[in-house]
Amino acid sequence: MQVVVAYSCNVDDAKFIDCIDTRSKLIFLSKSNKHYNEKGYQNTALRRRTKKRRTWMTKSQTKREKKNQIYNNKKKVNRKYIPDDISISILSKLPIKSLKRFSCVSKSWSLFLQNPNFISIFRNYFLSNSDPLDDDDVYLVFDWDAEQHEMMSFLSGERLQNVEYLAPPTVYDYYRFLFHSLGTAINGIVCIYINGVHEKAVLWNPTTTETYVVPSGLAELRQDGANCYIFHGFGYDPVADDYKIIQHVHFSLFGYPFSIEHKDNTFWEIYSLRTNSWTQLDFLMPTRHLRSVGTELYLNGMCHWWGKTPYEAYVVSFNLSNYEFFITPLDMHANFRFNLVVLNGSLAMISNVKNTTFYVISILGEIGVKESWIRLFEVDVMSCVNRPLTIGYKGNLFFLKKDGKAACFDLTTGVFEDIDSHRGGLIGQIIVYKKNLRPIGGINND
């Protein structure tokens, strides 16, 4: 009887197995016959080599398994989220714009903006990351006495105890009206006009007392009515090294302005100090709210103002270099009041419901993106407060009280205290000011 026997010892070394008879001797023919004897058993040298090979294969397999295990462990680590304490430490130091973008990375990060602990850490770092004050950093205060004579002064010191009285500019024939500063002070220069009268703007450096009267715009008076001018912004164009003023002009019939939608009756124009001329713009933009304080400001080459209709509220950002504008919607609620301010170099909005003492301060992360508003501060102040004035250095929030005086609320410490102007005047406006001896229009004449 013939059978075929499959030898399980080392199939790779055997070329084939030939068994003639079950009672005959097993003959193994391999690549090297000298490794087998007549009984079919491997000799000692082959057994050693086989054992060594098996040991090597076992070690190689073990190494591969270890590598695969390390690789799989790394993949598992990458899939895990970063611990919350590390995430909070990193995200709390990001700028507003970056913070909103990183919140899209994961669901847990997006929830940080609703976490009171994270918001507290973020705003504390945000307030502490401000430039140190020097002797040139003061507040310019516009107020008036009981006879409505204009008064101006510098306030400085930790408790605003230092007062430096200023003489109002003499370019106006009368000054029994409250002056208003358009926007913010830029390189020591402010643009002032008489509140409610937008026909004459004056550039003024309170440090040097230099003044410059801005010429009238392009509009011509009509016999059946009058042109109404509404200043919207004063700022600096860093590309052209130029100061500019932007205003809206519309035709008014016996004191009643036509709608902004009538293009024939309304237009925008912009003034350049370098060329001392006005240029009419060929497009329309939403206008600002007509309240004097807290509606417009300048920041980073752009003039910003807020306005509203019965259906929406918005912030318009106008680029003074390329004349592009962006609209950022606001959450519109009935009876809401807004104040546009600058907080630590960021555009911010103070909002509250009329006749309440609860105020919310939101920071804008990205111009034109409504979702980038971050609700950062919630302030509940005393009932004597009428409305906000501005936000100053180190997070000082200034309020106008119902008695016409000013008060300061420290966002860091929560301390609320009155401001004594030492003259008993009624506060109209407070702006952040840095003293500068440069002449008007001479920014790069150092």
Q: Where are the domains of the chain?
A: 14-77, 81-126, 140-434
pLDDT of residue 247: 92
In the structure encoding, which two tokens stand for residue 162, read together? Answer: 């230092």
Share of the chain above pLDDT 90, in %: 32
327 phi-psi bin (left φ>0, alpha ψ -120 to 50, beta other): beta
Condensed to tens digits (0 to 9), the pLDDT of residues 347-371 reads: 999 998 888 889 999 999 999 999 8
d(CA 421, CA 126): 30
Say whether pLDDT at 309 is over 70: yes
Instruction: Determine which of 98-112, 129-143, 194-208 has the lowest per-residue pLDDT on average.
Output: 98-112
pLDDT of residue 26: 42
Say whether pLDDT at 414 is over 70: yes
d(CA 227, CA 218): 10
Q: For residue 198, what pLDDT band results from cuts at 50, 70 and 90?
A: low
Q: For residue 445, what pLDDT band results from cuts at 50, 70 and 90?
A: very low
What residues contact residue 380 under an 8 Å CB cut-off, 6+ apart?
A: 357, 358, 359
pLDDT of residue 27: 43
Query: For the chain, first and last CA: distance in Å?
Result: 115
Mean pLDDT, to the nearest integer, of 412-441? 84
Look over the chain and give the mean of its residue pLDDT values, rounded to a whole number. Answer: 77
pLDDT of residue 441: 73
Q: For residue 305, what pLDDT band results from cuts at 50, 70 and 90?
A: very high
What architecture is domain 140-434? 6 Propeller (2.120)
Say whether pLDDT at 138 is over 80: yes
Q: Which residue has the higher pLDDT, 443 or 28?
A: 443
Condensed to tens digits (0 to 9), the pLDDT of residues 61-81 reads: 666 666 666 656 555 544 456
3-state helix, strand, coil in the chain (%, to 5): 20, 40, 40
d(CA 266, CA 284): 8
* Model pTM score: 0.75
